[in-house]
Amino acid sequence: MLNNNNDSTVFILSAELSTNSFRTNSERTAELSELLQASGMPFKDVLGRYEGTDEVAFVVVTEDRERILKLARDFDQECILELGPKNCLNVRESKLLGVKTGEVYATGEFIIVPEYIAKENKSYTFDGKNYYIIK
């Protein structure tokens, strides 16, 4: 999904919190999956690491930033990642969106890297095929 939908904006968000138990995070992830399914927005589950904590997240294809921010607020998320459409270099520019603060940070390019490079980073995404980091 990250390599498809080249002309679309995609978001990466999770329902998990590092302070929750595995069981609670699993329940929250299932709930978010059901909400995304009901919304009709195309999505895919991915594995990731955020600030050193492994988590299940979702890649969601939509131009509706406010709808994604509302979901993130409902799950008490600190931030989400917005990936713009692929540019002429076939790369997505990324932004970190502060869910509670409303701040937007340009973070760099979202690129494919080998697994060993991804796992050397505090944050990465794995879509089942490729590892991605922000450079």
Domain ranges for the chain, please list them.
Answer: 10-134
Which tokens is 43 given? Answer: 């999505």
Amino acid at 76: D
Phi-psi region of 128 (alpha: psi -120 to 50; beta: other; left: phi over 0): left
Q: What is the mean pLDDT of the chain?
A: 92
- Contact 125/48 with Cβ under 8 angstroms? yes
pLDDT at residue 89 in the model? 78
Give Cα 104 distance to the centre of its chain: 15
Percentage helix, strand, coil, to 5, in the chain?
25, 35, 40
pLDDT at residue 107 in the model? 87
pTM score > 0.85 for this model? yes
Give Cα 129 distance to the centre of its chain: 16
pLDDT at residue 104 in the model? 92
pLDDT at residue 5 in the model? 60
- Contact 15/32 with Cβ under 8 angstroms? yes
Identify the band that residue 98 occupies on the pLDDT scale cut at 50, 70 and 90.
Answer: very high
